[in-house]
Amino acid sequence: MHMQMLSISYVTCPGRCLETSAPQLNKYRGSIYVVVRLRPHCPSTISSALGSWWESIVTMGSLSKQNGLNHLPSFLLGALLPTLLLFFLASHRVGEQLSLGKGHLLMKIPAEEQEANLTSDGWAPGGEEVLLARERDKFPGLVELLPQVATDDRTVIITSVNEAWARPNSLLDLFRESFRNGEGIEHLLNHTLIVAFDAGAFDHCRAVHPHCYLLEMKGMNLSSANRFLTKGYLELVWTKLSLQQRVLELGYNYLFTDVDVMWLRDPFRHINLFADVTMSCDYFYGDAESLKNSPNTGFYYVKSTNRTVEMLRYWRAARSRFPPHHDQKIFDNIKHELAAELGVRIAFLETALFDTFCELHGGGMERVCTMHANCCIGLENKMHDLRNVIEDWKNYTRLTPAEKKTGKVRWRFPAKCKESLRA
């Protein structure tokens, strides 16, 4: 199916109850479609007169194509749509909910699903909007915290910890140490938001880091070192996605990094500027734009756009289709859908630059940006092999430029982590 896009301006109205989710009209098979969204603070019902109004606009769009009047639909919409929106704002008649689904227009969504979709993907990134109280309550304090952390181009580095990972001499300390030992990247800690999943982690974070955010999950104890695919582990990974979606909605780009990723050089030099998402891999097959690459959601960058907000929403919704899997497995399952249906542009990072325990490159220390302790089960195993990474890096940085070229210092094999996969 081919759909031609016609640009228009955003439609505004008193109270900002209704809005277009993108500044576009969609023309398909002679009919004109515009995406309209009902903001959550507005009435939950809309006049059933919408059907006749919209049917008239669509019919006129079809007739105009048949008669060669290509500009008539745009003219009619420009004249009728503001009036239509104002009419609905004033109407108190019970009607149909107006909401957006995969069909692009007027696909009914049950009330319970509308409640789960309160946030708007229609705000232009960086726009200063008055936030709804209900949205503030979901992530209290986040709106005020992000400007303190973000870079000049509104990018935030995000990692997450529970109490087991944040306590002294655990993963958080190694993570922060890697920035201090890296090549000119210590300042990036100032732009790193550490999300704590429990009060203990929050206290440990505040003791060592200026930017901490408590995202506590009521009714669940997530403070222990949850093993891979346990219920606690799955709740951790899916909860972080809800916060990341909110970050995008607020107009901030983010680079998410697992706390077991050691930062050695500036990774932003390798972010694909033309992609919506730039993601690390467990296994890289040579082509950065190939969807054959095996994604790793422990390190990835996302631009703040309407498309990526919808991507996060789609990704989270796909959880029910592939239980009981984690975010990475489901992203791998839906990556073709994201590209084909939402138009998401995905690029992948070479494992030679963003190294992993899954596909370890013994040499190449002169180029590597990060080292990720994936393909590893158990906190103690991660800590053991990551301490070796830190020590190997320190040994490398002590060499003279001439000695570095000889390749004398290489990464040690992550023996504990590899053994953990066989247990």
Question: Do 69 and 165 fall into the same domain?
Answer: no
Question: Do 219 and 291 fall into the same domain?
Answer: yes
Last residue of a domain, one of 81, 116, 151: 116
Confidence (pLDDT) at 154: 98
pLDDT digits (tens, 9 = 90+) for 41-72: 333 333 333 343 333 333 334 334 444 445 54
* 365 belongs to a structural domain: no
* 416 belongs to a structural domain: no
* 236 belongs to a structural domain: yes
Enclosing domain of residue 247: 133-354
Confidence (pLDDT) at 237: 75
Confidence (pLDDT) at 87: 41
Question: Do 142 and 290 fall into the same domain?
Answer: yes
Confidence (pLDDT) at 388: 97
* 284 belongs to a structural domain: yes
Question: Do 240 and 290 fall into the same domain?
Answer: yes
Confidence (pLDDT) at 227: 53
Confidence (pLDDT) at 221: 57
Question: Do 178 and 273 fall into the same domain?
Answer: yes
Confidence (pLDDT) at 408: 81
Tokens representing residue 238 in the block: 């899916």
Confidence (pLDDT) at 325: 74
Question: Do 106 and 143 fall into the same domain?
Answer: no
Confidence (pLDDT) at 98: 33
Question: Do 109 and 162 fall into the same domain?
Answer: no
* 333 belongs to a structural domain: yes
How many structural domains comprise the chain?
A: 2
Ranges of the chain whose pLDDT falls below 50: 1-69, 72-73, 76-77, 82-132, 228-229
Confidence (pLDDT) at 195: 96
Mean pLDDT, the chain, rounded, equals: 75
Question: Do 147 and 54 fall into the same domain?
Answer: no
Which domain CATH number covers 295?
3.90.550
* 160 belongs to a structural domain: yes
Question: Do 184 and 226 fall into the same domain?
Answer: yes
Question: Do 98 and 176 fall into the same domain?
Answer: no
Question: Do 232 and 302 fall into the same domain?
Answer: yes
Confidence (pLDDT) at 130: 45
Question: Do 152 and 253 fall into the same domain?
Answer: yes
Last residue of a domain, one of 85, 116, 147: 116
Last residue of a domain, one of 354, 380, 399: 354
* 187 belongs to a structural domain: yes
Alpha carbon distance 185, 264 (integer Å): 8
Confidence (pLDDT) at 382: 96
* 92 belongs to a structural domain: yes
Confidence (pLDDT) at 92: 34
